[in-house]
Chain A
Amino acid sequence: MSVVLEVEDLSVHFRTTLGVVKAVEGLTFAVREGETVAIVGESGSGKSTVALAALRLIPDPPGKIVSGRIRFEGQDILALADAELRTVRGRRIAMIFQDPMMALNPVYTVGRQIGEVLKLHLGLGSREVAAEVVELLRLVGVPAPAERALQYPHNLSGGMRQRVMIAMALACRPKLLIADEPTTALDVTVQAQVLDLIQSLKDRLGMAVLLITHDLGVVAETAHRVIVMYAGRKVEEGPVAEIFKAPRHPYTQGLLEAAQWDQADGAPLHEIPGTIPSPFDMPRGCSFAPRCSFAIERCQREVPALSDVTARHSVACFVAQGETA
Chain B
Amino acid sequence: MSAAAGETVLEAVDLVKHYPVKQGFFAPARQVHALDGVSLELRHGETLAVVGESGCGKSTLARCLMRLEEPTRGRVVLLGRDITDLNKRTLRGLRRQMQIVFQDPYSSLNPRWSIGSIVGDPIRLHEPHSRTARRAKVAELLDTVGLGAQFMERHPHELSGGQRQRVAIARALAMNPAVIICDEPVSALDVSIQAQVINLLKGLQKRLGIAYLFISHNLALVQHISDRIAVMYLGEVVELADARAMRSGALHPYSQALFSAAPIADPDAAARKTRIILVGDVPSPVDPPTGCRFHTRCPYQQPVCTTDAPALRPVGERWVRCHFAGQPGFPPTPASSRPIVEPAPLDS
Binding site for B on A (CB under 8 A): 42-43, 135, 138-141, 143, 157-160, 187-193, 195-197, 200-201, 204-205, 214-221, 240-241, 244-245, 254-256, 258-263, 265, 268-273, 275-276
Knowing A141-B341, A188-B219, A275-B193 touch, does A219 contact B275 (C-beta < 8 A)? no
Inter-chain CA distance A139–B346, complex, in Å, is 7
CB < 8 Å neighbour of A214 from B163, B191, B220, B262: B191
Inter-chain CA distance A64–B162, complex, in Å, is 30
B277 and A196 contact, CB distance less than 8 A:
yes
Inter-chain CA distance A189–B259, complex, in Å, is 9
Q: How large is the interface on B (under 10, 10 to 19, 20 to 34, 35 or more residues)?
A: 35 or more
Which among B69-77, B106-114, B264-272 touches the partner chain? B264-272
Q: List 19 A-B contacts (CB under 8 A).
A: A139-B343, A139-B344, A141-B339, A141-B343, A143-B280, A157-B281, A192-B277, A193-B339, A200-B339, A201-B343, A214-B190, A217-B220, A221-B267, A256-B265, A261-B221, A261-B223, A262-B264, A269-B199, A275-B163
Give, as a whole number of angstroms, the nearest-CB distance from B104 to chain A: 14
Q: Residues of B contacting A260 with CB < 8 Å?
A: 265
CB < 8 Å neighbour of A160 from B261, B281, B339: B281
Inter-chain CA distance A262–B266, complex, in Å, is 11
Q: Residues of A contacting B266 with CB < 8 Å?
A: 220, 244
Please tell me if B208 contacts chain A, counting CB pairs below 8 Å: no
Inter-chain CA distance A294–B238, complex, in Å, is 47
Please tell me if B192 contacts chain A, counting CB pairs below 8 Å: yes
B261 and A189 contact, CB distance less than 8 A:
yes
CB < 8 Å neighbour of A189 from B53, B193, B264: B53
Q: Residues of A contacting B203 with CB < 8 Å?
A: 268
Inter-chain CA distance A140–B342, complex, in Å, is 10
**Closest 7 pairs (CB-CB, A-B):** A217-B263, A216-B265, A187-B53, A42-B190, A261-B224, A192-B261, A272-B192
A271 and B199 contact, CB distance less than 8 A:
yes
The A interface, classified by DSSP as helix, strand, loop or mixed, is helix
Best-surrounded residue of B247, B266, B344, B346 (most CB of chain A within 10 A): B266
- Tell me the total A-B contact number using a CB cutoff of 8 A: 137
Inter-chain CA distance A273–B197, complex, in Å, is 11
A259 and B277 contact, CB distance less than 8 A:
no
Q: Which of B30-54 contact A (CB under 8 A)?
A: 53-54
Q: Residues of B contacting A158 with CB < 8 Å?
A: 54
Q: Residues of B contacting A275 with CB < 8 Å?
A: 160, 162-163, 193
Knowing A192-B261, A201-B343, A271-B192 touch, does A262 contact B224 (C-beta < 8 A)? yes
Inter-chain CA distance A7–B305, complex, in Å, is 54
Q: Residues of B contacting A138 with CB < 8 Å?
A: 343-344
Give, as a whole number of angstroms, the nearest-CB distance from A233 to chain B: 16
CB < 8 Å neighbour of A241 from B190, B193, B261, B267: B267
Knowing A141-B343, A196-B339, A241-B267 touch, does A42 contact B277 (C-beta < 8 A)? no
Q: Which of B237-285 contact A (CB under 8 A)?
A: 244, 247, 257-258, 261-268, 270, 275, 277-278, 280-282
Give, as a whole number of angstroms, the nearest-CB distance from B188 to chain A: 10
Which A-chain residue is minimally distant from B297 (CB atoms)? A189
Please tell me if B195 contacts chain A, counting CB pairs below 8 Å: yes
Which A-chain residue is minimally distant from B159 (CB atoms)? A275
A276 and B190 contact, CB distance less than 8 A:
yes
Inter-chain CA distance A245–B267, complex, in Å, is 9
Give, as a whole number of angstroms, the nearest-CB distance from A114 to chain B: 16
Known: A42-B190, A268-B203. 12 other contacts (CB 8 A): A139-B346, A188-B262, A189-B53, A197-B343, A200-B343, A204-B346, A216-B191, A217-B264, A221-B270, A244-B266, A254-B192, A262-B264
Please tell me if B134 contacts chain A, counting CB pairs below 8 Å: no
Inter-chain CA distance A190–B281, complex, in Å, is 7
Q: Residues of B contacting A256 with CB < 8 Å?
A: 265
Inter-chain CA distance A195–B262, complex, in Å, is 12
B247 and A272 contact, CB distance less than 8 A:
no
Inter-chain CA distance A303–B300, complex, in Å, is 57
